[in-house]
Amino acid sequence: MIPFTSYRLPCFLLCFFIFSLTESACSQVQKQQHNIVIEQYACLPCGQDCDNEAYDKLGNCSHCHMPLVKKSTIHFKTIQPAAICNYIKKHPHVILLDVRTKEEFEGKAEPNFGTLKNAINIPIQELAQRLSSINILKNKEIIVYCSHSHRSPQASYLLMQNGFNNVTNMAGGMSVMKDNSCIK
């Protein structure tokens, strides 16, 4: 018969080993729980106050009914209309993209807010279908604008989602432009 004391060491080691495994497993679970990232969703940018609200699941915005997108995918910059003419003077190679209708762009719609000099016009309704025609601009700086900054945030988002990496939205749009020095 083996003395009782000789069982103590293997039993102690076994208990210590089980305890270590349990602690390690618990530690991993705790780390995973603390590192959980809960995805937030936001309104597809529409230029309204609801762009700033966060949702915890997909669906539609309760205010403007635009589809919700992952908030982490919205990362275009914004420029204020008061700064646009000066910015264009300092950055003459910036691409100006007007996403209003052809009539608005040409000044044939009322009210006529004018158009930024050297802008190109691709109406928001056509932008998705015409992305391949502007692929050469993917690495260029692009400022997107419209009349009231409701369409330009959507266009900015669409461009960013399709590989255009330097997109800026003009907040407020042409309707709030005060400086006429860069308007044709």
Q: What pLDDT, in 10s, does the model give residues 140-170?
A: 999 999 999 999 999 999 999 999 999 999 9
Identity of the highest mean pLDDT range in 5-9, 63-67, 148-152:
148-152
For CATH 3.40.250.10, the residue range(s) in the chain are: 75-176
- The predicted pLDDT at position 157 comes to 93
- The predicted pLDDT at position 25 comes to 45
Mean pLDDT, range 108-125, rounded to an integer: 96
Tell me the pLDDT band of 26, cut-offs 50, 70 and 90. Answer: very low
DSSP 114-146: --BTT-EE--HHHHHHHGGGGGGGTTS-EEEE-
Considering the entire predicted model, what is its pTM?
0.74
Cα distances (Å, whole numbers) of residue 52 to 58, 125, 171, 174: 15, 24, 14, 22
Tell me the pLDDT band of 46, cut-offs 50, 70 and 90. Answer: confident
**Residue-wise pLDDT tens digits, 76-85:** 899 999 999 9
Q: Measure the CA–CA gap between 182 and 117, rounded to whole angstroms.
A: 6
Res. 111: pLDDT tops 80: yes
Are β-strands 68-70 and 142-145 bridged in parallel, bridged antiparallel, or unpaired? unpaired
Angle at 70 between CA 59 and CA 170, to 5 degrees: 105
Q: Measure the CA–CA gap between 182 and 11, rounded to whole angstroms.
A: 84
The fold of the 75-176 domain, in CATH, is Oxidized Rhodanese; domain 1 (3.40.250)
Candidates 138, 141, 134; CA nearest to 95 is: 141
**pLDDT, the chain, mean:** 84
Res. 86: pLDDT tops 50: yes
pLDDT top residue among 173 and 52: 173
